[in-house]
Homo-oligomer: A and B are copies of this chain.
Amino acid sequence: MAALPPILLESLQTRFGERCATGDAVRLQHGRDESSLAPVPPDAVVFAQSTDEVAAIVTLCHRHRVPVIAFGTGTSLEGHLHAVRGGVCIDLSGMNRIIAVRDEDLDASVEAGVTRKQLNAGLRDTGLFFPIDPGADASLGGMAATRASGTNAVRYGTMRENVLGMTVVIADGRVLRIGNRARKSSAGYDLTRLLIGSEGTLGIVTELTVRLYPIPEAISAAICVFPSIASAVASVIATIQLGVPVARVELLDALAIKAINRHSKTTLTEAPTLFFEFHGSPAGVAEQAQTVQDIAAGNGGVDFEWAVKPEERNRLWQARHDAYYACLGLRPGARSLTTDVCVPISRLAECIAETMADVTESGLVAPLVGHVGDGNFHLLLLADPDSTEEMERASAFSQRLVERALRLEGTCTGEHGIGRGKRKYMALEHGDAALDVMRAIKHALDPDGILNPGKILPD
């Protein structure tokens, strides 16, 4: 890795003073994420406070052909932040102003460093909420960059459906304002959707306008235990086919429930379990829950529990919320290589069945947590980071899982993104011609390749 050109560093230090940092600790902190990949620190970190500042930094880096990487909260799972070719990290966490909340239009404009929890806290008195919940309290800029989603995408969509417009700094330092606040538009190329999911390789999101939703009049929750994963998934398919507007439907397998029992001292039945949430009017959520209970019973579901009061709902869902850390606790010291395939829902049972057989055969410890309404599920492959053999076994398993998902007309990543970790699957998923088109777009917008190099597109 080449160090920064001294003249560039001097320019950054002159303009940003102490907000341009080169100490080891701050660099390491900005070169690390929540993936199982080894961290790669940038050469410098600049803490930006405005779009103009981001534009100034990118302009300087562009002049010197030095990589720039945007940083929100560092919760990537695919090495998105790793400075694999060195360069300058722009920390956007100080850009955390909620610029406007417009209750009549059900939208809000925020700076990219605002996190989803911060936005929802800021909405507390409006009767509105922002639904996308990827688990981590990620920044909205980062969530746009990875096309994030989470537990309630089945009802509310992903970042793809929920960003109306953005302010973006492109490779030469110019500022674009793309999209607008209208609910729909047919005015030219959809640059907003092109930037969403581009992982900082086509531009740096500095502000965005997102959709909000009225907090439902009534919310209810339910859980139900199934004799098999297949019967749980069959219930989900029937629920969606009947048009029940379920807000969340999550699957945990028996091992994940076992992990929760151990972690939270609960006594849940250690069997595949679905967690539901319903949003609507009081009569509507009761009707939805009844329909789902009937469907579940028809598929062998038992112990259906239903709750309306917040504390009761939280009790039912606590296991789901604890799942990630509880699962990590199954093998202390292990890191999780977290898979993220997504398939058409009709193929989900088949995909999971083949995958669980592979888990057994591979001798891996791998609890399952799934956003099954979308056909998206995660396995936490708990591997010892000091064992090359084990990491390779997990990696080979992950590759077979991706190949399986693609064969079933799905995708290698439902919501975590490509980053470094999944670049090797891009040609397999998209084909060479589509990959060429992506490369042509990247080259047209960033001819020097300074925007988050080494991500998404294979070399």
Which residues on A are within 8 Å of B, measured CB to CB?
A: 102-107, 146-149, 153-154, 157-158, 160-161, 170, 174-178, 180-191, 193-194, 196-198, 202, 213-214, 216-217, 237, 240-243, 245, 280-281, 283-284, 287, 340, 342-346, 374-376, 409-418, 422, 425-426, 429-431, 433-434, 437-438, 440-445, 456-457
Residues of B within 8 A of A281 (CB): 284, 287
A288 to chain B, nearest CB (A): 9
Most chain B CB within 10 A, of A187, A198, A214, A346, is at A187
Residues of B within 8 A of A187 (CB): 411-413, 417-418, 422, 425-426, 429-430
Q: A160-B193, A217-B243, A237-B104 are in contact. Are A186 and B417 (CB under 8 A)?
A: yes
A343 to chain B, nearest CB (A): 6
CA distance A456 to B190 in the complex (A): 12
Residue contact B186 to A243, C-beta cutoff 8 Å = no
The residue that A184 contacts in the complex, of B104, B158, B287, with Cβ under 8 A, is B158
A171 to chain B, nearest CB (A): 10
Residue contact A241 to B103, C-beta cutoff 8 Å = yes
Residues of B within 8 A of A445 (CB): 437, 440-441
- Besides A191-B434, A214-B242, A284-B287, 5 other A-B contacts (C-beta < 8 A): A181-B343, A183-B342, A186-B413, A187-B426, A188-B197
A166 to chain B, nearest CB (A): 11
The residue that A186 contacts in the complex, of B240, B375, B410, B414, with Cβ under 8 A, is B414
Among all A-B residue pairs, the 7 with the closest Cβ atoms: A193-B193, A214-B243, A444-B444, A104-B346, A185-B411, A182-B342, A440-B444
User: How many identical chains are in the complex?
Assistant: 2
Residue contact B191 to A197, C-beta cutoff 8 Å = no
Residues of B within 8 A of A216 (CB): 243
A287 to chain B, nearest CB (A): 6
Residue contact B346 to A102, C-beta cutoff 8 Å = yes
Residue contact A160 to B184, C-beta cutoff 8 Å = yes
Residue contact B184 to A189, C-beta cutoff 8 Å = no
CA distance A418 to B187 in the complex (A): 6
CA distance A237 to B103 in the complex (A): 10
Residues of B within 8 A of A340 (CB): 186
A252 to chain B, nearest CB (A): 20
Of chain B, the residue at the smallest CB distance from A411 is B185
A105 to chain B, nearest CB (A): 4
Residue contact B241 to A375, C-beta cutoff 8 Å = no
CA distance A343 to B104 in the complex (A): 12
Residue contact A344 to B411, C-beta cutoff 8 Å = no
Q: A104-B241, A186-B414, A189-B194 are in contact. Are A176 and B437 (CB under 8 A)?
A: yes
Q: A186-B415, A190-B147, A241-B103 are in contact. Are A430 and B178 (CB under 8 A)?
A: yes
Residue contact B197 to A414, C-beta cutoff 8 Å = no
Q: A176-B434, A237-B104 are in contact. Are A190 and B182 (CB under 8 A)?
A: no
Sample (17) of A-B pairs whose CB atoms are under 8 Å apart: A106-B240, A107-B344, A146-B186, A160-B184, A174-B433, A183-B375, A183-B376, A184-B414, A184-B415, A186-B414, A187-B418, A188-B429, A190-B196, A193-B193, A216-B243, A281-B287, A443-B444
Residue contact B170 to A345, C-beta cutoff 8 Å = no
Residue contact A182 to B433, C-beta cutoff 8 Å = no
Of chain B, the residue at the smallest CB distance from A414 is B184
The residue that A438 contacts in the complex, of B170, B181, B189, B426, with Cβ under 8 A, is B189
Q: A175-B433, A191-B437 are in contact. Are A409 and B181 (CB under 8 A)?
A: yes
Residues of B within 8 A of A425 (CB): 187
Q: A194-B189, A213-B243, A214-B242 are in contact. Are A184 and B441 (CB under 8 A)?
A: no
